[in-house]
Copies of this chain bind each other. A is one copy, B any other.
């Protein structure tokens, strides 16, 4: 086809790329749902076992690992770190909600769990 690609090709390419993006987004949503199930289980486990909610050493290991995985995958490591912080903020929101429901003094933490 060269320089005279038929009309509609760019539109077709756009539709194909958007279909990929939509598939990836569906996978991301389902993985995030699983991740929050796991962090909620961690929250319950820590509460029932009397473990401290926050674990800064665990969080540091998670950041280092995600940055390294990002580098291998061709993703900006700084974005990977921002992404983890974004997820952790939501995990803390969940844990605070659990604490509030149990009448305990809303301790946050347990970070990326």
User: Contact check: which of B13, B29, B39, B66 meets A70 at CB < 8 Å?
Assistant: B29
Given contacts A25-B62, A45-B10, contact A73 B30 (CB under 8 A): yes
Q: Are A113 and B18 in contact (CB under 8 A)?
A: yes
Chain B residues whose C-beta falls within 8 Å of the C-beta of A45 in the assembled complex:
10, 13-14, 17
Chain B residues whose C-beta falls within 8 Å of the C-beta of A90 in the assembled complex:
79
Q: How many copies of this chain? A: 2
Interface core residue of A18, A39, A80 (most chain B CB under 10 Å)? A18
Within 8 A of B (CB), among A1-54: 10, 13-14, 17-18, 20-22, 24-39, 41-42, 45-46, 48-49, 51
Given contacts A21-B113, A65-B22, A69-B26, contact A14 B33 (CB under 8 A): no
